Chains A and B, each alone.
Chain A
Amino acid sequence: MATTNAPPAGTKPPAGTKNAGRPPARARVRTGQSRRRRNAITAWLFALPFVLIFGVFMLGPLLSSFLMSFTDFTSRDIENPFAVGFVGLEQYAALFRNPQFLHSVLNTAYFVVVGIPLTTILALALAVALNNGISRFRTAFRVGFYTPVVTSIVAVAVVWRFILQPDGLLNVILGWVGIAGPDWLNSTTWSMPALIMMAVWRNLGTLMIIFLAGLQAVPGDILEAAEVDGANAWQRFMKITLPMLRPTLLLGTVLLSVGFLQFFEEPFVMTKGGPLDSTLSVSYFTYNQFGFGKYGLASAASYVLFVAIALLSLLQFRALRSKD
Chain B
Amino acid sequence: MRELLNTLFVQTEGAYLSLDQDTVRVEIDGTVKLRAPLLNLGAIVVFGRVMLTPALIARCAVDGRSVVWMSSTGRFQGRLEGPVRGNVLLRRAQHLAALDETRTARIARQIVAAKIQNSRQLLLRVGRDSEAEDRNRLAMAAAELADILARLRAATELNVIRGLEGEAARAYFGVFGRMVRVDREELAPDGRTRRPPRDRTNALLSFLYALLRGDCQGALEGVGLDPQVGFLHSLRPGRPALALDLMEELRPSVDRLALALINRRQIRREHFDLLPGGAVYLNEAGRKVVIVAYQERKAEEVEHRALKEKVAWGLVAHVQARLLARYLRGDLAEYPPYLAR
A and B: real partners? no
User: Hey, which bits of chain A sit against chain B, CB under 8 A?
Assistant: none
